[in-house]
Amino acid sequence: MTTKPLRLRELAKGEDRFVHGHRMCSGCGAPIVVKQVLMATDYPIIASNATGCLEVSSCIQQFTAWKIPWMHSAFENSAATCSGIEAMYRSLVKQGKMEEKNVKFIAFGGDGGTYDIGFQALSGAMERGHDMMYVCYDNGAYMNTGIQRSSATPFGANTTTCPAGDVIPGKLQQRKDLTRIMAAHGIPYVAQASPANWMDLMKKVQKAMEIKGPKFMNIIAPCNRGWRSRTNDAITLAKAAFETCYWPLFEIENGVTKITAKPKEKKPLVDFLKPQGRFKHMFAPENEWMLKQAQEYVDAQWERLQKESAEGEAE
C-alpha cells in the first residue's frame, strides 16, 4: 500500500474512524490523538482499548464512536488483548480460514493503563515480538478515577493523592521515562509525538505501519480537568510542552535515536507550567527551588537526547 498523502485538504475529505458522539470532556486531548493516529493510514485496523477515559467515554452501551473493529480490555491488559488478536489473525490466515488483508493492530491506553497497571502486559507483548503498535495517550495522571498521581505525573504536580499543602508540595518524584524504557526492549520502533505537531505524529504512524514487529508511540494528551487549564488549551499546551522541551519529539528506530523536530527557540519551562493550575503552588516564593529543579531536569534530559541523536547521525 502506498503511503497516504498528508495534505489537510485530502485528510479533511477522508473517512473519520473515530467520530462525534463520544462523551470525552470538552477540549480533551485524547480524542484528538486518536483521530490523528487513525487518520494517518488507510490500512484496515483492529484496536484494543484499556479501561480509562477514552474507553468509558467512547463506547456507552450500544453507542460507540469507533468505526473500526474495537475491543474493550480491562485496565491492565490492552496490550495482551491486542497481541492475542494479532496472534489469532496470523493463525487463521496460516490455516487458510481467513484471507490475508494486511490488517494492522493498535492498542490504546492512558498513562495509568500503560506506565503502571498495564506495564507488565505491555512489556510482555513487546518482548514476544507481536506485530502491533501500542499508543499511549499520556495525560499525566489517573484522570478517569479522580486525578490520582501516576508514574507519568510530572514533578511538582498537585493531584488528589499527592496534594500540594503543608505536608508535601505536590509530587516529589520525576516522571517515569517510559519511551526510553520501551526502547530498551530492543523493539524496532519507538517514538514520542504531540497532537500540536500533527504532521510529525502522522508520519511516525505511517512509518510504524510499515515496520514488522512491535512498535510503541507515546503521545502527550493534555487534560484540562486534571491540568486545571482552560478547555481550549489542549493544542496550546501540547505546543508549549514541545517548545520548552518538556516533551521532545524523537524516534528510536532499530536502536538509533533521531530528534524529528526542534523548537526554533527553546523556551523556559515556566511557559508550560504557568497556564496549569496543578503547578500554581510552585510559583510561591518558598517553592522557587521546585521550579529550578524542574528546569534543571528538563535541561539535562534535552542535552542527553541531543547527544544521543548526534551519535545516531554519526553512525
Q: What is the pLDDT of residues 153-192, one digit of tens each?
A: 999 999 999 999 999 999 999 999 999 999 999 999 999 9
DSSP letter string over 270-282?
A: HHHHTT-GGGGGG
The string of DSSP letters for 244-267 reads TTSS-EEEEETTEEEEEE--SSPP
pLDDT bin (cut points 50, 70, 90) of residue 1 is low
Three-state DSSP class for residue 135: strand
Least confident of 2-6, 124-128, 224-228: 2-6
Strand 256-261 and strand 45-49: the pairing is unpaired
How confident is the model at residue 312, as a pLDDT? 83
State the pLDDT at residue 13: 86
Find all residues with CB under 8 Å of 91, minimum gap 6, and list them: none
What is the mean pLDDT of the segment spanning 218-229? 98
**What's the pTM value of the predicted model, to 2 decimals?**
0.97
Q: What angle do CA 275, 145, 147 make, to 5 degrees?
A: 25
Given a cut of 80, whether residue 195 has pLDDT beyond it is yes
Give the residue among 151, 300, 125 at the shortest CA–CA distance from 213: 125
To which residue does cell 495509568 refer? 112
Give the tens place of pLDDT for each residue, 29-84.
Answer: 999 999 999 999 999 999 999 999 999 999 988 899 999 999 999 999 999 999 99
Comparing 4 with 223, the larger pLDDT belongs to: 223
| Phi, psi values for residue 130, rounded to 5° | -65, 145
Q: Give the chain's domains with CATH numbers.
A: 16-314 (3.40.50.970)
- Can you give the pLDDT at residue 2? 60
- Asked if 137 contacts 36 with a C-beta cutoff of 8 angstroms, the reply is no
Amino acid (1-letter code) at residue 119: F
Written as one letter, the residue type at 259 is I
Mean pLDDT, residues 93-106: 95
Vertex 240, ends 229 and 221: CA angle to 5°?
60
> pLDDT at residue 313 above 90?
no
Query: Residue 5: is it exposed, middle or buried by C-beta count within 10 angstroms (0-12/13-18/19+)?
Result: exposed
